[in-house]
Amino acid sequence: MKPRTSLRLTLRRMTLFALAMALAVTGVVTEGFSPQAVAVAQQVGPSGLPLPRYVSLRANRVNLRVGPGTNYAVEWMYTKSGIPMEIIQEYDNWRRVRDAEGAEGWINQSLLSGNRTAVAAPWHKGKDVQINLHREGNRGSPVRAILEPGVVTSVRACNGDWCEVDAGGHRGWVEQAQLWGVYPGETYSD
């Protein structure tokens, strides 16, 4: 397997992407921002969809390949549907993806779904950390459940600070910064 990328670098890219997207969408002048940050916000893949973007695995068995085609070696096999993936590149019917641990490879588009999922604080996996699932999208709201780092959730909506999720039969709100599978500041509804 390839070495894992730095979480700090990934968060920096996501923050730059979110900032550049906000500037591009609102038409704010981008003077003073790096051309790279502005270019990321305007990047569209051959499919006509934005890059990068989050999706999830459609099937229970999905091969992550080292290149865009079945003639390339399988580097990893995912054995659970619903795992979030970040599409970072497109080639024909193949998507180069990154998982929450930083592993990258190629997956056929037919094995990916537009359903949004997220992983609760994967950077804290294996640590004694709890992620609160609140009744409403604020810290003062009652806690409905405690999520362990690494739990996969279905994302129903995000308002830029909080995301409404389903996790193990519990529905509630988690701070957006505690999820991998949504961009900082991103708004979303299913």
Q: Which class is domain 7-112? A: mainly beta
Distance CA 134, CA 154 (A): 15
pLDDT exceeds cutoff 90 at 59: yes
Tokens of 180: 């991998």
pTM listed for this prediction: 0.77
155: left (phi > 0), else alpha (psi -120 to 50), else beta?
A: beta
Instruction: Write down the residue that tokens 């641990």 correspond to.
Output: 101
The CATH superfamily label for domain 118-189 reads SH3 Domains (2.30.30.40)
In this predicted model, what pLDDT tens digit does every residue of 105-130 receive, in sequence order?
999 999 999 999 999 999 999 999 99
Phi and psi of 98, rounded to 5°? -130, 135
**Domain ranges (residues) in the chain:** 7-112, 118-189
pLDDT exceeds cutoff 80 at 41: no
Residue 159 near residue 173 (C-beta atoms within 8 A) = no
Residue 90 near residue 53 (C-beta atoms within 8 A) = no
